[in-house]
Structure 1
């Protein structure tokens, strides 16, 4: 017997902080980037770079900032601007960034729950699954393969795909819905940042669902969130028990 989906036909997931533990994945990236930049510039740029990225190196945590909210291109642009505040010319800063800000993270890939089990449940409910991430396609596909979830995914949009407009623009959400033949009002956006949830709201999706496994907090995400979950394993209960067909954005 198919579990009721209460009119939810598609879930669009952010990746880092939603499917994967953000801090374990990206803290090593931040520290590696700072080490390479300081070696290349011979300057103590670390504190400024950490601030730009939204990283607290003492607590070992990532909060809102370029690392959590932007594509690789956006991260590199922001770091270049930060380096220019130390007196580097734009062409110098850009060259250093290209050599010192890596595409992929050396961090640990730590799923927030049993992903194949969750996706099996969602599929049994008649729900399509998509991933929309600011990360690169190479890194994303590698991680999805390692989690054994590729067969469950109906669409994937990555930060370096040609022609995308990054979150919080509604562009990616609208394109995914069009490609999968699902109405906006039948779709949920699930993420851990303002950019994720704002995309869902601007696109007019059924709801934006915030998870507490990434960089956002209830306070920072409240404006754009319809529901809060500790992690994505709670989605089936949310859909079958909490949501109703006439759920409206409040």
Structure 2
């Protein structure tokens, strides 16, 4: 298990440029690049008050994180969204579609828990398509169902943005180990960027890929992982994927990344994820210890 001891000394430092991107919009990417330049202190400083202790990265040069359920508490964020969506759909259709919609989403409103399902594993487009199909089972015609879903299934969550651990400390620690950081999420870019800025970690990320970016092929396709590695100039075998769903972990496997790492803070369980992961962590705070003290050259596949 990774150490949970957290020193509060600042991050040792360098010039970090964050290449946020939309796949087919180079101009937008360049604008965001200029807006996200952050200058830190001199990395050569030996002053202990200016540096975190660094650890071996064992050849890991890039970590790609899923967002909801991995970095953020999935239930706190999406249960309110699901309840609001069901309320809107029942009002619009005047039909008791709630239980069926909850099942489609993978939400148990009684246990207040999100499990594997379209809400956890698909983009907004995929969620809306599945909900529209559910409405059709109640006799709603396809055109009407699509229109209702468009108006009743919100893009953004109305729930709390609750990090699973001290993300600033985690990201600073990984940066001090010489590791680049990326987020690959099915959520929208607007919501994702707002959350990352609110949590104070946007400046520490080298790339963010979102579900509504132009040209994105959703997980478990290897497309996003391979594209991130190419953009950041990091070999696939020097990259690990961290997530809480089968789709997250399969993306890492199919892309040929060095490892897929499952966390227990989201919708997946040890039973559902064991076939797709190389390691289990209780939460992402254990990742530095995994990389430094558990992973070694023998864990490289291929």
TM above 0.5: yes
SS in 1 for 2:298: coil
SS in 1 for 2:241: strand
Give a deviation string over 1:39-79, Cα, whole Å, max 9, x none.
00000000000000000000000000010000000000000
Structure 1 residues 160-199: aligned runs within 5 Å: 160-199=212-251
> What is residue 286 of structure 2 aligned with on the other side?
234
- Partners of 1:5 and 1:249 lie apart in 2 by 17
Q: What is the CA distance between 1:2 and its match in structure 2?
A: 3.7
Where structure 1 has 5 or more consecutive residues not aligned to the other structure, the ranges are: none
User: TM-score of the superposition, structure 2-length normalised?
Assistant: 0.82
Q: What is the CA distance between 1:248 and its match in structure 2?
A: 3.8
> Is this contact kept in 1: 2:192–2:210, CA < 8 A?
yes
Give the number of equivalent residue pairs: 250
> Is this contact kept in 1: 2:237–2:301, CA < 8 A?
no
Where structure 2 has 5 or more consecutive residues not aligned to the other structure, the ranges are: 1-52
Instruction: Note the aligned Cα RMSD (angstroms).
Output: 1.0
- Partners of 2:54 and 2:154 lie apart in 1 by 44
> What is residue 43 of structure 1 aligned with on the other side?
95
Q: What is the CA distance between 1:249 and its match in structure 2?
A: 4.8
Pairing 1:131–2:183 present = yes
> Is this contact kept in 1: 2:185–2:211, CA < 8 A?
yes
> Is this contact kept in 1: 2:186–2:212, CA < 8 A?
yes
- Partners of 1:249 and 1:175 lie apart in 2 by 20
Q: Which runs of 4+ in 1 moved over 4 A?
A: none
Q: What is the CA distance between 1:245 and its match in structure 2?
A: 1.4
> What is residue 7 of structure 1 aligned with on the other side?
59
Pairing 1:18–2:70 present = yes
Instruction: Please point out which of 161, 165, 173 is paired with 1:109.
Output: 161
> What is residue 118 of structure 1 aligned with on the other side?
170
Give a deviation string over 1:7-39, Cα, whole Å, max 9, x none.
000000000000000000000010000000000
Instruction: Please point out which of 4, 17, 32 is paired with 2:84.
Output: 32
